[in-house]
Amino acid sequence: MKQRTIGRETDYSGIGLHTGKRVRITFKPAPGDRGVRFIRVDLGGRPQLPAEISKVIKASRETSIGEGEVKVQSVEHLLAALTGLGIDNLEIEIDGDEVPIGDGSALPFTQVLKQAGIVEQEGEKRYLELKEPISFVKEGVHLRQDFGGLSSGASAKGDVYLVALPDEKLKISYTIDFDHPVLKTQFASFIIDEDTFTREIASARTFGFENEVRELKEKGLIKGGSLENAVVIGEEGILNKEPLRFPDEFVRHKILDLLGDLYLIGAPLKAHIIALKSGHGANVELAKKIHSRKEKVPKKEMEEIQKRIKTEKILNIREIQKILPHRYPFLLVDRVMELEEDRKAVGIKNVSIDEEFFQGHFPGYPVMPGVLIVEAMAQVGGLLLLSKPEHSGKIAYFTGIDKVRFRRPVVPGDTLRLEAEVIKIRGRMGKMATRAYVEDRLVAEAELMFALAPWERE
């Protein structure tokens, strides 16, 4: 399948469950292989946060991501919608630190994004397929079964189980078991695709118990919580005027939360996930385990890439990503146009105004930083070295730079032609000459020294 984004810009606004503040989100299409990024437009410099498992700073009553002083709370319902709709690339501008709670489900986000149109992009989806089972077990603890910003301590002591099994598709089988007169045991199992998610899961709302909601309110928490955005369960039944949307709405919402947390792995997943009494904390731990076991590029794929190099002497962006460890915003080569083993490589970098560095580097007069031009030249040099079969599984560390000269500024709209030519290679050490051109004009040059070392990628 092809990667996906949305067809046009759209927005959504609402209050945050925890802060009670009104927040506006603007969704914008993003290029292929970009991934999903939150952009805090209310902060100076518009700092960005990629939706990645390494950015998780909290996973208890909700899942939040952050870096330094920048954070975005309660991302799970929105990310669940992206999972269900198969959206891979998206910019999410947000003017606060918490995603709106909406009606407590993923339905508002699903509807807004579908109205904007889901469009296919040029690049292929890169699914993460498991080779062996992966599990997370937490034994004999007092469970606080987390749900959508509220948290229940209503279940007895027990074990949390999460198991991911190899499968040809994404399937979730989930069991909840609460020690409560109204809510006890529920089980549901779904193969996740766009139709099933939209029809069976997206509208399942977060839920909480009356006594705990009252306690959280008294502590000044969940300031935006109400019967409009959560199902509240009393001793005799639910307190909401609206009836349950499904007889098993509670376990369906838990599936929704799990899908949102798993999105942070950074690749669409093919696996059968079996969950018992899990919550955001356990979901994130399983996601980390899956992420840490991402396979190296299979030997067969590398052989195909090397065969293409020998016959066509070019590399596209997907092949570049299989060789280099860099990713947006630090992957600075879009295409390799020439590649002669042990001799020379020529790459292309298209410089656009939406490059991350232009936000802070002379924003009134955008000029590409010279150090990034050097980095782009170095990455072409790295591709030249690492495309050799015997260097598969290694990484090129640059150990020195000589004779650096910057001749002309590089601005948005320019296309950089990046050349790297080997001067000498001795064992695992070497030197190469690099140059960068815009049209036929030399804009930068440098001699780079490098060392090859083993690379254990995730």
| Domains detected in the chain | 2-124 (3.30.230.20), 128-292 (3.30.1700.10), 299-454 (3.10.129.10)
| Banded pLDDT at 301 (limits 50, 70, 90) | low
pLDDT at 48: 94
Report if pTM > 0.75: no
Q: Please name the helix (run of DSSP H) or strand (run of DSSP E) that holds residue 442, with its range, or none.
A: strand 441-454
Whether the link from the prior residue into 181 is cis, omega within 30° of 0, is no
Q: Token pair 């990629």 is at which residue?
A: 50
412 Cβ contact partners less than 8 Å away, ≥ 6 residues apart: 351, 352, 353, 355, 358, 366
Q: How far apart are CA 49 and CA 68, in angstroms?
A: 10
HSE-up (13 A, CA, CB side) for residue 82: 31
- Tell me the average pLDDT across 210-239: 87
Do residues 393 and 296 make contact, with C-beta atoms less than 8 angstroms apart? yes
Length of the chain: 458
Please state the rounded mean pLDDT for residues 247-274: 96
How far apart CA 302 and CA 402 sit, in angstroms, is 32
pLDDT at position 298, please? 59
Percent of the chain with pLDDT over 70: 91
For residue 172, what are its two tokens? Answer: 């979730």
Look up 280 and say whether it is catalytic.
Answer: yes
pLDDT in tens, 147-189: 344 433 334 346 788 999 999 999 999 999 988 888 889 999 9
Active-site residue 77, yes or no?
A: no
pLDDT digits (tens, 9 = 90+) for 140-156: 544 444 434 443 333 43
Across the range 284-305, mean pLDDT stands at: 76
Please tell me what DSSP assigns to residue 333.
Answer: -
Task: Please say whether the beta carbons of 282 and 163 come within 8 A.
Answer: no
* Nearest one of 329, 325, 317, 321 to 358, comparing CA atoms: 329
User: Is residue 336 scored above 70 in pLDDT?
Assistant: yes
| pLDDT confidence tier of residue 91, bands split at 50, 70 and 90 | very high
18, 272, 280, 291: which is the annotated catalytic residue?
A: 280
Give the residue with greater pLDDT, 29 vs 145.
Answer: 29
pLDDT for 392:
67
- pLDDT at 302 (0 to 100): 67
3-state secondary structure of 359: helix
